[in-house]
Structure 1
């Protein structure tokens, strides 16, 4: 008799936000803890129990950068679910985009060491996770 031994990985859900300005800047945070500690990344994080992804995105943006947006202003650009995208295990992120005024002040908070606006044409060479792909999807027009 063959024994059926299937295992199921725990899947964790996150939300990330691509905050853009009309002038062509994107808001990034410097991660304050592993993985990718010290690397630049999009603001985002884990969904709380019974929390909708877009609500988590707005909450994480505010907690990590001090930028407050209406949940209804977030536009989903996709879900990233490639196995191995996060070294901690299986993570699926819902990515959102929002446009905020040029000069919007930012303040690092929560687990962000730093938060700042970066010109889209001069991003850090290496971004955490697959955040370069997410930014690219946000700024590339869809046919």
Structure 2
């Protein structure tokens, strides 16, 4: 029997919402999904935790600075086909900020903007499902 070894990449994403019902999205500057909207996030670097990577990626891609302790874990998303580049497993975190928090695109994001939760564009990857899960969890937790 031949065993197939699968390469799994480790990432972290952040759902940032405001207290008045907006979510932070970035426009991707690179493929896959170049030009489409997504949650801020990216690869976990060697020696880094997913929580630290989430805080770093949020600052790099959207100019929002938060400590890793301010991020609340939402869950792990590991569907085999969630990314066209191969197998990616992401740990998702949530952060709530005040309305008017300034965002500025950087790194591989060409734009960073606040979108009303009730009027979102099509999202890259499985980010719509991630966002739904985060909102459902927040409602369940009474946020």
TM range (shorter): over 0.9
Q: Distance in 2 between matches of 1:116 and 1:96?
A: 18
For the residue of structure 1 that corresponds to 2:118, the secondary structure is helix
After superposition, give the CA deviation of every residue in 1:64-122 in whole Å (9 maximum; x if it has no partner): 00000111110111000000100000000000000011100010000001000000011
Give the alignment's Cα RMSD to 1 decimal.
0.9
For the residue of structure 2 that corresponds to 1:117, the secondary structure is strand
- Which residue does 1:127 correspond to in 2? 123
- Which residue does 1:142 correspond to in 2? 140
5+ residue gaps in structure 1? none
- Which residue does 1:81 correspond to in 2? 78
- Which residue does 1:111 correspond to in 2? 108
For the residue of structure 2 that corresponds to 1:122, the secondary structure is coil
Structure index of larger Rg = 1
Give the TM-score taking structure 1 as reference length. 0.95
Of 9, 12, 15, the residue aligned with 1:12 is: 9
**Is residue 69 from structure 1 mapped to residue 66 from structure 2 by the alignment?**
yes
- 1:142 deviation in Å? 3.0
Give the TM-score taking structure 2 as reference length. 0.95
Of 39, 44, 48, the residue aligned with 1:47 is: 44
5+ residue gaps in structure 2? none
